[in-house]
Structure 1
Amino acid sequence: MKKILLSFYFFANLASANTIDAIAVVVDKEPITTYDIKQTMKNLNISKDKALQILINKKIEKSQMRRFGIFTSELELDNAIDKMLSQNNITLDTLKANLKIKGQTYKQFRENFKQDLEKRKLYEQIANTAKIDFSDIGAQNFFEQHQDKFSIFTEIAVKIYTSKNVKFLESLKTSKNTMLKAENAILTPNNADPRLLSLLSQIPIGQFSPILNSKNGYQIYKVENKNGMQTPEFEQIKNEVLNVYVGEQRQNYIQDYFDKLHSKINIEYLR
């Protein structure tokens, strides 16, 4: 009787393990397991549908990387990381220390950095096939239709949260409960970097900025109020407008490319 029970538990556990890591979706012959989906849900704190969509998109991107022959060597990866460190004025040791605080290994960072690098290469290659309008007339029409994208507020009330732990700041976006004490500030052209004002001008009231580097670690800004909106003349910021106009055309082309690909590629839902 004992042997029968042991056998039952063995096969029950085996069946459970197989279910946990069973193939749920196949995208262009690339499998996505139930374990992949659960881990993505956990890591990103998102729903099953969103996690599955992210994983499907990654498989489609991987398929396109093979098609375009996109590859990153270890030497290229090292050079890209060195360039990033130089641009951010930090050392490799500092980076590793920051990763340790986040609970991430340098090996994981390298793998994620490599994936991002190859993704940028793919998007760049796809965008290079687009027909882009570089004309001043097109840029001016774009400016007139999207003046809010180029408006700057001269007085922005914010709550500033500072921490050496990125996860604490990331949690602010999903949870109202925090042990971090906010610094209230009114940012103006007299006390703030124009680039920061420009960034915060585009963030809706009540929303958070991206996490930014600071002297004391990291900071995130919650926009409380905005006043004194100013919109410059087109000629004053023509180059900036043209850059945004071209960027949006490229982004729209990439989005359309993947939307069409998504409808054509073979996706099998097994579970």
Structure 2
Amino acid sequence: MKKFWIFLFFCANLANATLTNSIAVVVNKEPITSYDIQQTMKILNLSREQALNVLINEKIEISQIKQFEISVNDLEVDEGIKKMMAQGGMSLEQFRANLKAKGQSYESFRANFRKDLEKRKLYEKIANSNKTDFSEDGAKKFFEQNRNKFVFYANINVNIYSSQDAKILENLKNTKHTKLKAHNVNLNPNNADPRLLALLSQIEIGDFSPVLNSRDGYELYEVKSKSNQQNVEYEQIKNEVLNAYINEQRQNYIQDYFEKLRSKVSIEYLDR
């Protein structure tokens, strides 16, 4: 009798494991399991639909990385991490210890960093396929149409979110939901790089900065308020305007590229 109950217990657990690991969605013949969805929901604090969208987008990115034969070698990974640590003034030993204190291994961070570099290469390759306008006339027109983007604020109140995983911060930007605790800071020319203030000055109140490298991994800034406004003219910041004009063209092209790509992707839902 005892063996019979053990057998039933084994079958029940096997059935549960099979259900947990069952294939939920197939994207271009690449499977996404129920376990993948549950883990993404847990780690990124997302709803099931949001987690599924993240995983579908990842599969599309991976397929594009394979299609363009994009690769990142060990040297590129090591150099990228060294550059990031140098910006934060940390040694490798300090960085490893910091990761360990936060429950993450260096190997795991390195693997995620490699994926981030692959994605950057992918976006760069896609953006470079667009015919970008580099003209000064185009930049001047962009400046006149977007003067609000080139106002400098000398005092900016922000919430700063930190993580060793850039993907967690990217999803915070998209969903505005997170379990991360924010660090509130009042930034000004005395405690912040003027380039950071210039970047944050262009971000609307309540919105987020791009994910930026930091001494602990990555940071995301949420702009809460801005004050001490200083207007500037085109000739004072024409290089910055041209860079912003080029970046906006590239970002719009990348977004349009993936929207069109997703509309053509074969997505089969198996558990609905």
Q: TM range, normalised to the smaller chain?
A: 0.7 to 0.9
Q: Secondary structure at the match of 1:268?
A: strand
CA distance in 2, matches of 1:257, 1:81: 29
Deviations 1:198-230 (A, max 9, x none): 24424444667778858x999987755433322
Q: Which runs of 5+ in 2 are unaligned?
A: none
Greater Cα offset, 136-145 or 71-80:
71-80
Match of 2:121 in 1: 121
Match of 2:148 in 1: 148
Change in CA separation of 1:268 and 1:3 when aligned onto 2, cut-off 3 Å:
same
Give 1:46 deviation, angstroms: 1.1
Amino acid at match of 2:262: H
Give 1:113 deviation, angstroms: 0.6
* Superposition TM-score, scaled by structure 1 size: 0.81
The answer to whether the Cα contact below 8 Å between 2:46 and 2:177 also exists between their aligned partners in 1 is: no
CA distance in 2, matches of 1:105, 1:116: 17
The answer to whether the Cα contact below 8 Å between 2:208 and 2:220 also exists between their aligned partners in 1 is: yes
Give 1:159 deviation, angstroms: 7.0
* 1:66 partnered with 2:66: yes
Greater gyration radius: 1
Match of 1:263 in 2: 263
CA distance in 2, matches of 1:54, 1:46: 10
* 1:26 partnered with 2:29: no
Deviations 1:97-128 (A, max 9, x none): 12112211001011001000111111111111
* Count of aligned residue pairs for this structure pair: 262
Q: CA RMSD in A?
A: 3.5
Match of 2:240 in 1: 240
Change in CA separation of 1:82 and 1:261 when aligned onto 2, cut-off 3 Å:
same
Greater RCO (CA < 8 Å, at least 6 residues apart): 2
Change in CA separation of 1:206 and 1:26 when aligned onto 2, cut-off 3 Å:
closer
Amino acid at match of 1:125: K
CA distance in 1, matches of 2:208, 2:132: 32
Structural mapping, 1:1-271, within 5 Å: 1-156=1-156, 158=157, 185=186, 187-189=187-189, 192-205=192-205, 225-271=225-271
The answer to whether the Cα contact below 8 Å between 2:84 and 2:214 also exists between their aligned partners in 1 is: no
CA distance in 2, matches of 1:138, 1:122: 26
* Superposition TM-score, scaled by structure 2 size: 0.81
Deviations 1:69-115 (A, max 9, x none): 11122233223323333343321111111211221100101100100
Amino acid at match of 2:249: Q
CA distance in 2, matches of 1:66, 1:119: 11
Deviations 1:124-160 (A, max 9, x none): 111111111111111112112222221112344x377
Amino acid at match of 2:246: V
